[in-house]
Structure 1
Amino acid sequence: MKEQFNSAFSNLVDKLLSWFNTLIQYLPNFILAIIVLTVSYFTARYISSLVEKLVSKRVKQKSISKTISRISAVVVVVAGLFISLGILNLSQTLESLLAGAGVAGLAIGLALQGTLANTIAGIVLSFRKKIQIGNWVETTGYAGEVIDINLKDFTLKEADNNIVVIPNKTILENPLKNYSLTTKMRVSLECGVGYSSDLEEVKRLTKEVIKNSFSHIESTDDVEFYFTEFGSSSINYLCRFWVDSESALEKLRAKTTAIIEIKKAYDKAGINIPFPIRTLQFDNKLNVKSTQLENSFSNN
């Protein structure tokens, strides 16, 4: 029994001595690894604040700038961790971590495929100069002012003050019309006049009214006017002109002004804007008396 105890005690002492020797041997590497981790931590904080300042100058959304800064901080810390493990000669542990991170990343990517797609699309949209908060855009059947672009969705406020929330992925994959990229919009106005109207006078008067209604139109030559068809009750035309506008609301206001002024001018000049007329013709006259007699016989 005593010999077994001595043997166990001797093995324990040898084990402790080997651990101590290993600790002494790797103590410089261990201290260096701790220093690397500490430096990487403070470096990550500095880089995070620096990236947030740089990104906030180009992206107005605070959520996106903070997310990008956090991602950069995580990258720096992870790089410091890998360097520390390399200093400690824990290459197998490093390989295991990389393999585990790859498997975990694949699983998370499959589970959150839609969320990640919207997040990436939100970052891409935030860096696009042609899409900014305050722009008036039209996409996927909706038109309105861009009031927010975050990591999840794209928010529009329509002309009737309704809020439309669209996933970022949908915006990135579909065409988008940005009215705010240009300072001019073309207004198209369709109308019709009666068949008895003087068409030359209609053309001249319409172009003159449009020119006088908008100060930026210098000449009637800047107003396009085309007769388009012989309609069922009128001769129809198309009138087009440009207005200084960056919003669809301004375009609608200009079109409203044009309609009001054209109607006033037509009324003053005696030009008729006819409405559709339907004529009903009955070729067979109804015999009321015979119908009444048949009804009386059937009742008896």
Structure 2
Amino acid sequence: MVYQDKATKDTTDQIFDNTHTAWSELQDKLDNWVDSLILNLPNFILAVLVFILFILIANLSAIGINKILRKTKAQHSVRVVAIRIYKAIVILIGFFIALGILDLSTVLTSVLGAAGVLGLAVGLALQGTLTNTFSGVVLSFIPKIQIGDWVETNGFEGFVIDINLRSVTLKTADQNLVSIPNSKIVDNPFKNLSSDDRSIAILECGVGYESDLEFVEKITKQAIEEALPQEKTEKVEFFYKEFGNSSINYEVRFGIKETNAKDELLAKHIAVKAIKKAYNENNINIPFPIRTLDFGKNKFRSETLEIKNRSTS
């Protein structure tokens, strides 16, 4: 019994000694951390101030660089991407300097070494995102698409309001925003209606078989030329295409001023009214489809006699 009490006492003393030792070591570490924090507090404050200073420098200098780039022939999308890359580089330099002030250069080297291996894995996992980023840089330097242009691509059309490192944003005719990944723009055809302010509109119509075709062609060309004056290098082109069910169909092509889809609709609107007015003044008929149903004389007569017999009975 005395032996058990002694063993229990020794165990309790050992636990107390271990607890006291652990607490002493914890206090020493906390004291060291507080001392280190006090000693490094000026460096920490300086590092934060340096980092904030570089952010301010990046933003303020970007304004000046933007003004300089505006004086050059660089397109707007190029200026936007170039300024974003410049700001990222300046802020990254400030971050490295802040780490140097905190004497974390060794840590930074280790982090960069690990980032190389991690970057490979992340690159494989984010192939789509990286493709869009690279495509965004490519798009920014392509003169055939700029912010403010009206383009058609991937089943959408609208004004380009933003080109960033991930997507191209279009504002459609119904005032909605559509974001299309950059890789889709690069890999697929697109139509830029703003690349040239002149375009060709195509309008189709038909006239009756009794019409004088030479006269119809002359009147149609005159109507369009008066309503929509053509440039020196343009002319109204008129082609008869086919003998339709109820009309002789034609296609007329003429130059218009077009920077977006609405311009084409407006030009066709004017052309249709001008052609209709000219046709009315010259008695030119625009026929509509007519369908004749032939039931057969004998069958129709027998059905009529049968109905009469039923009514008599």
State the TM-score, normalized to the length of structure 1. Answer: 0.69
In 2: Cα distance, 1:98 partner to 1:217 partner: 62
The structure-2 alpha-carbon separation of the partners of 1:280 and 1:97, relative to structure 1 and needing over 3 Å to count, comes to same
Which position in structure 1 is the counterpart of 2:220?
206
Which position in structure 2 is the counterpart of 1:73?
90
In 1: Cα distance, 2:175 partner to 2:57 partner: 42
- Structure 1 runs not aligned, ≥5 long: 1-36, 295-300
Matches within 5 A, 1:1-300: 53-54=64-65, 57=69, 58-59=75-76, 64-65=81-82, 67-73=84-90, 76=93, 99-217=113-231, 222-283=235-296, 285=299, 287-288=302-303
In 2: Cα distance, 1:293 partner to 1:112 partner: 85
Secondary structure at the aligned position of 1:122 is classed as helix
The structure-2 alpha-carbon separation of the partners of 1:52 and 1:186, relative to structure 1 and needing over 3 Å to count, comes to same
Secondary structure at the aligned position of 1:192 is classed as strand
Letter in 2 for 1:249: K
In 2: Cα distance, 1:151 partner to 1:243 partner: 35
Deviation at 1:215, TM superposition (A): 3.3
In 1: Cα distance, 2:122 partner to 2:91 partner: 17
1:52-71: CA deviation from partner (whole Å, max 9, x where unpaired): 75468354599745641244
Deviation at 1:232, TM superposition (A): 1.3
The structure-2 alpha-carbon separation of the partners of 1:255 and 1:279, relative to structure 1 and needing over 3 Å to count, comes to same
In 1: Cα distance, 2:76 partner to 2:165 partner: 12
Secondary structure at the aligned position of 1:229 is classed as strand
1:155-199: CA deviation from partner (whole Å, max 9, x where unpaired): 212223333221222112111111111121101111100000010
Deviation at 1:109, TM superposition (A): 1.4
Letter in 2 for 1:259: V
State the TM-score, normalized to the length of structure 2. Answer: 0.66
User: For the aligned residues, what is the CA RMSD?
Assistant: 4.0
Secondary structure at the aligned position of 1:205 is classed as helix
1:28-58: CA deviation from partner (whole Å, max 9, x where unpaired): xxxxxxxxx9xx9889986786567546835
The structure-2 alpha-carbon separation of the partners of 1:44 and 1:144, relative to structure 1 and needing over 3 Å to count, comes to closer
Matched-pair identity in %:
44
Which position in structure 2 is the counterpart of 1:21?
none
8 Å Cα contact 2:161/2:170 also seen in 1: yes
In 1: Cα distance, 2:143 partner to 2:64 partner: 18
The structure-2 alpha-carbon separation of the partners of 1:45 and 1:162, relative to structure 1 and needing over 3 Å to count, comes to closer
Deviation at 1:120, TM superposition (A): 2.6
In 1: Cα distance, 2:309 partner to 2:152 partner: 67
1:97-131: CA deviation from partner (whole Å, max 9, x where unpaired): 55422211012212322222223322322232221
Letter in 1 for 2:217: K
Deviation at 1:275, TM superposition (A): 1.2
Letter in 1 for 2:209: Y
8 Å Cα contact 1:224/1:239 also seen in 2: yes
Number of residue pairs matched by the alignment: 255
